[in-house]
Amino acid sequence: MFLISGPCVIESLDTALRVADHLAGVRERLPLSEVIYKSSFQKDNRSSVDYYMGPGLDEGLAILAEVKRQYGFRLLTDIHYPDQAKPVAEVVDILQIPAYLCMQTTLVVEAARTGRTINLKHGQMVAPSTMAKVCAKVESTGNRDIILTERGYTFGYNDLVVDPRAFYELKQTGYPVVFDATHSIRKYGIPSADPNGGARQYLETLARAAVATGIDGLFLEAHPCPSEALCDAASQLPLEALEPMVERLLAIDKVVKGF
């Protein structure tokens, strides 16, 4: 199993390198196939124009490039507009299509044309089987380097509900499937800085259930001090909690994949 981790949004070079250094230790100590560093240079779907949206394209890419230079991680970040695809692909290895935007053909195709790995996040209120059509948009460019990420797709009371059937449907595409545990515990409609904006107590339960279905990767955002994070403060994992949790999840993964 591989791990995608890092702070939700790029806050500073110091924070980025602090997290990267911790992840380098996790990579060294745990039997993961890979650790991929994830952080966003722009969060364009914040619920208020007053919330921090990130440092922007140029500064964000410079920070990500320094993370790669010092630690050698493959990098993942999300793009929101077609014209971001080419400059981001010059630095970043995996272009992520946000869940809100997964059906945007122009965005998906421009990202795919870069030849980079494309991480398609399963959109809210989109049937899991429909993601095969999104994969086809990527494939239309000749790019078959695709990852599919589940993060819940039906709404409850301020919740995105994770339906395990989605893992089955996404795996029918033949592409690697990831579970984004961090965003599945967000309480939508409640500011992410509010302590009630996430239900972190459910994070490991959901992750264990996902790993038990035989997924290929985990998406767990982590921050040195989540309560002070500038985005998703109530749902990111404290750095010190990341490794013990992943170690427990790898034990489940080993059993499941031993069948």
Would you call 63 helix, strand, or coil by DSSP? helix
SS3 readout for 160-184: EECCCHHHHHHHCCCCCEEEEHHHH
pLDDT for the residue 119: 98
Give residue 250's Cα distance to chain centre.
Answer: 18
Can you give the residue range of the structural domain that contains 236? Answer: 2-256
- For residue 188, the model assigns a pLDDT of 73
Three-state secondary-structure class, residue 186: strand
CATH number at residue 154: 3.20.20.70
pLDDT of res. 224 = 97
Structure confidence by residue, pLDDT tens digits, 70-118 = 999 999 999 999 999 999 999 999 999 999 999 999 999 999 999 999 9
- The C-alpha angle 15, 186, 19, rounded to 5 degrees, equals 15
Give the SS3 label for residue 151. coil
What length is written for the chain? 259
Burial of residue 17, with CB atoms counted within 10 A of its CB: 0-12 exposed, 13-18 middle, 19 or more buried: middle
CA separation for the pair 218, 180 (Å, rounded)? 6
pLDDT at residue number 50: 77
Q: Structural domain tally of the chain? A: 1
Note the pLDDT tens digit of each residue in 124-163.
889 999 999 999 999 999 999 999 999 988 777 678 889 9
User: Tokens 């990420």 map to which residue?
Assistant: 149
Mean pLDDT score across all residues of the chain? 94
| SS3 of residue 190 by DSSP | coil
Spatial neighbors of 196 by CB under 8 A, at least 6 apart, are 187, 190, 234
Q: Is the pLDDT of residue 121 over 80?
A: yes
Structure-token pair, residue 216: 């290929």
Beta strands (DSSP E) in 12-137 are 35-38, 74-78, 94-97, 117-121
CA atoms within 13 A on the CB side of 10: 27
